[in-house]
Amino acid sequence: MNTASGIGMTSQRTRNRMVERLREKGISDEDVLNAMSIVPRHIFMDEALAHKAYEDTALPIKFGQTISQPWVVAKMTEILIENQPEKVLEIGTGSGYQAAVLSRLIKQVFSVERIDELTKVARKRFIQVGYRNIRTKTGDGFDGWQSEAPFDAIIVTAAPPQIPEKLVSQLKENGVMILPVGDDKKQNLIKVTKTANGYTEETISAVMFVPFLQGTVRK
């Protein structure tokens, strides 16, 4: 898996500075930091905002969605890979950046996006940067990807008001789901671990994501 050709040294230097900031903020997994240093975040956003690509902030993309803050991407990824998953489901492809980071660390990444135009743009970006182990589809994220279940881990990049039971059902036993849960005023990043009798929850930190909406939008 190679990065896109033609990426200038300036972008690499700014990625390296971003990684140092992530390290200072507590991200310690070297594999995650390495992935963040390789994936060209500026490719996953509109050109007009590319100059802000390596700031540690969320940025807007089309259809009222966002590309997540690098620290959030790194933290969610760090938690997700603790048990070395090989097959991961992402709910909310968005720009494609989170899936691209995961693809550097995980054998198979499946990603569902409710907005068809975002799905199509993300696919083009994955081809551009040479990431071939990501499968995408347009669909209702609440349905997950039943035909490919069970998954070792699930990552959700939008906030439902409560933990979606249907997604928990698509985890293997001892599998992990990381997701924000809450409303437009208060959200927490939650780690869900599936057990033989249900699941356990662990609160990680306060966060703020776009809401997890039901249904499929085709543009």
Mean pLDDT for all residues in the chain: 92
Indicate whether 153 belongs to any domain: yes
Say whether pLDDT at 199 is over 70. yes
Domain, as residue range, for 189: 57-207
- Give the mean pLDDT of 15-43: 96
Number of domains in the chain: 1
- Between strands 87-91 and 151-156, the pairing is parallel
Q: What is the pLDDT of residue 104?
A: 97
Using CA atoms, how far residue 106 sits from 68, 118, 213, in Å, is 19, 22, 27
CATH number at residue 79: 3.40.50.150
Given a cut of 70, whether residue 10 has pLDDT beyond it is no
* Percent of the chain topping pLDDT 90: 86
3-class DSSP state of 203: strand
Q: Is residue 215 part of a domain?
A: no
Residues taking part in catalysis: 68
Q: pLDDT (tens digit, 9 = 90+) per residue, 30-78?
A: 999 999 999 999 999 988 998 899 999 999 998 889 999 999 999 999 9
Does some domain include residue 107? yes
Residue with tokens 């390596």: 54
Question: Hey, what amino acid is at 176?
Answer: V
